[in-house]
Structure 1
Amino acid sequence: MPMSMVNSRIFDVVVVGGGPAGATAAADLARRGRSVVLLDKAGRIKPCGGAIPPRLIRDFEIPDGLLVAKIRSARMIAPSDKRVIMPIDGGFVGMVDREVFDEWLRSRAAAVGADRRTGSFVRITREDGVATVHYKTADGTEECVRTRTVIGADGALSAVAKQEVPSATRMKCVFAYHEIVRAPAASQADFNPESCDVWYQGTLSPDFYAWIFPHGDTVSIGTGSANKGFSLRRSVETLRAATGLDGTETIRREGAPIPLKPLKRWDNGRDVVLAGDAAGIVAPASGEGIYYAMAGGRFAADAVEACLETGDARKLATARKRFMKAHGRVFWILGVMQWFWYSSDKRRERFVSMCRDPDVQKLTWDAYMNKELVRAKPVAHVKIFFKDLAHLLGVVRP
């Protein structure tokens, strides 16, 4: 498209992708008075368990009305079908419907000044040092917007990342699939609307886990695996049949790749920085992504603000540096945990058995709810180390 056909206005930033990462970045920058375009596809819902911890609710001012359920415990199911309940002492994990939650975040960004546009990203071109983001609308028309910076928050197979950050093409992913079904009657004996079920069984996932997460009137039933030959749909079908949820109404089915680890680089050294799944920031072992996406979106917004303020493109690299300083150690620990404990049903059995321990439960929930490694209980950490070692060596029976 000739440049004469492009609107001459130059925005401060175009955010490609309106999920939690992109919507958060757009809102943060618009609040600072920056001119922001938020570009998002219409009707895209990511498969997601929908769990958000208290820290997210606090940090990003999420109203209670968006929570469709409050989870008070998690039930871990071992390959032998032994079950361990991990209660949350005095707290809860919020559950959201991503269709409603993501739209609320986008609307909030628009309310504080972001210019919302619906379309699919095509490419970025440059002329006279200014980037032009090309995108297609629903009717196939190509439109353009000029901008000083771009935030790529368009998912694990990010088109922005593939064009601007070459290392993104080597991103490794788990493939996730879930079915949203109508919640069963409260009288169903094996379903608790205030508890998440996590299934650690090789038949349901050879290298990850399967789940049943209550969402108020609905339930998310899903699984994930990096094994491309493994049938995720068949796994969910098996899980639904085993739990009596095969007779409930299916509302929708969704699948998508979920990144396994953060990319080594998130920016192009010029005018683009990545956020959310596009940057690979989904927690290993748990697959949790909403909090980390929003935190990454905020760090990306801060980096863009610094770049715009100083004219120094090197500031874009601070998004990754700050994120990894805050969460890199947790990601490394969870990655080792997934690699070891999820590698066989024998190890899964011992992992679930270990979750019976009150110290393990306490520190696990403290770390999850607040997104920080708990350092204030050294004696408990020592106890867990030796208990963990005992399980590794097979001294403790599952």
Structure 2
Amino acid sequence: MTQADYDVVVVGGGPSGATAAHDLAVQGHKVMLLDKAGRIKPCGGAVPPRLLKDFDIPQSLLVAHANSARIIAPSNKTVNMPCGDGYVGMVDRDVFDEWLRNRACDAGATRIDGKCEDVVDRPDGLAEITFRTDRNAKPTAVTARCVIGADGARSRVAQQCIPNGQNVKCVFAYHEIVKVPEETTADYEPDRCDVYYQGHLSPDFYAWVFPHGKTASIGLGSANKGFPLRETTRLMREQTGFSKWETVRKEGAPIPLKPLKRWDNGRNVLVAGDAAGVVAPSSGEGIYYAMTAGRMSADAVGAFLATGNPKALRGARKAFMKAHGRVFWILGIMQYFWYSSDKRRERFVKMCDDPDVQRLTWEAYMNKELVKREPKAHMKIFLKDMAHLLGLKPVKA
């Protein structure tokens, strides 16, 4: 094989790409991290405690700790869900992602600010990656033994290299970062996440207000391409009393709805993070799953580099779906049923008032796995779930 410029080129420096670049650099591989400078992904910024433990993330990166969630039904009925002994950590993506990129560089990865334009599979087995450092710069090409595409839901790498990589169904998310006044009369708590299940704010997903210390994220999502995200966010801010809070920035981006059926091209390309579709249905949680996919992709690529066998690349998706596929399947069913109408959203919020539902929901969130030790509790919740879904239990507005 012809000598490559790099062992691995990672396209995309978000949580997934930065984690993959870090892990591969730690393994001793020559890594290039190619990232488009200045982009901040729209994101509520919620991370579970397990993320800090699994990826050695310092508490100092958390800008807030949410100790409860409040969910709001179409009727404006509210249900409070305290976290118990746990919490939901909040990060600012501009600071958090940059810290991850810097850590990858400290481990030995070479960082290049630029936009990927093309990935070509050469006859000699290497991948050739063409990029520009800015719009007016001449294109630059480098070669690598393997490429990891972690360049988002509309991944150029996936579209060019992965079977059906262009057919990704997405929720379109939009949020506004606002400054939190020192004194406010709005219904806002700095340690509480608010989630709105109201059809006029989102016909098929939800809207949110998440605390970020001195700022807050106010946003919503919908898979309906014609849904007016910006206008609805403005109406939501008026509805919730946040219309006069100073806006720091506005951001929007697609978020994938489910994992791709294949993550590799069978030769020398693998995708991870949003490019692989690893965002949890129903909740839209993505940071933990993106970093997990990045780590599993690094392991798979490391095995490929050691053996030369491209079948090793399949290990990333296999490992991820073994660990989280069942949870994604259950959350997908929940989203399909409960988000389809305001009548069902009302029942969903009512169901969340149940202590068993709250306890097992938080345990699953904190630990990132289904709680297997309480089969009776799961059966109890299943029966309640079906009763609410079929309308067998009255719902009080």
Q: TM-score range by the shorter chain?
A: over 0.9
Kept in 2: contact 1:184–1:245 (CA 8 A): no
Note the C-alpha offset of 1:91: 1.4
Q: Which residue of 2 aligns with 1:3?
A: none
Amino acid in the other structure paired with 1:244 = G
Kept in 1: contact 2:4–2:126 (CA 8 A): no
Q: Which residue of 2 aligns with 1:100?
A: 95
Kept in 1: contact 2:42–2:175 (CA 8 A): yes
Q: Which residue of 1 aligns with 2:10?
A: 15
Could you give the per-residue CA deviations for residues 277-319 of structure 1, whole angstroms, max 9, x where no partner exists?
A: 0001100000000000000000100000000001100100111
State the SS of the aligned residue for 1:168.
Answer: coil
Kept in 1: contact 2:186–2:240 (CA 8 A): no
State the SS of the aligned residue for 1:330.
Answer: helix
Moved more, 338-347 or 182-191: 182-191
Alignment of 1:75-154 (within 5 A): 75-125=70-120, 126-138=122-134, 139-154=136-151
**2: distance between equivalents of 1:184 and 1:371?**
34
Note the C-alpha offset of 1:186: 4.6
**2: distance between equivalents of 1:31 and 1:200?**
43
Residue 296 of structure 2, aligned match among 295, 299, 317: 299
Q: Which residue of 1 aligns with 2:263?
A: 266
**1: distance between equivalents of 2:138 and 2:21?**
24
**2: distance between equivalents of 1:141 and 1:85?**
55
Q: Which residue of 2 aligns with 1:183?
A: 180
Residue 320 of structure 1, aligned match among 294, 311, 317: 317
Q: Which residue of 1 aligns with 2:337?
A: 340
Note the C-alpha offset of 1:388: 1.3
**2: distance between equivalents of 1:9 and 1:321?**
28
**1: distance between equivalents of 2:40 and 2:292?**
20
**% of aligned pairs identical?**
65
**2: distance between equivalents of 1:162 and 1:386?**
42
Note the C-alpha offset of 1:201: 0.2
**2: distance between equivalents of 1:127 and 1:219?**
50
**How many residue pairs align between the two structures?**
392
Note the C-alpha offset of 1:127: 4.7
Kept in 2: contact 1:70–1:92 (CA 8 A): yes
State the SS of the aligned residue for 1:202.
Answer: coil
**1: distance between equivalents of 2:138 and 2:359?**
54
**2: distance between equivalents of 1:181 and 1:250?**
4
Q: Against the structure 1 CA distance between its residues 162 and 123, is the aligned structure 2 distance closer, same or farther, given a 3 Å change threshold? A: same
Note the C-alpha offset of 1:8: 6.9
> Which 5+ residue runs of structure 1 have no aligned equivalent?
1-6
Q: Normalising by structure 1, what TM-score?
A: 0.97
Residue 213 of structure 1, aligned match among 210, 213, 216: 210
> Which 5+ residue runs of structure 2 have no aligned equivalent?
none
The CA RMSD measured in Å over matched residues stands at 1.2
**2: distance between equivalents of 1:167 and 1:393?**
36
Q: Normalising by structure 2, what TM-score?
A: 0.97
Residue 197 of structure 1, aligned match among 186, 194, 212: 194
Moved more, 183-192 or 62-71: 183-192
Amino acid in the other structure paired with 2:164 = S
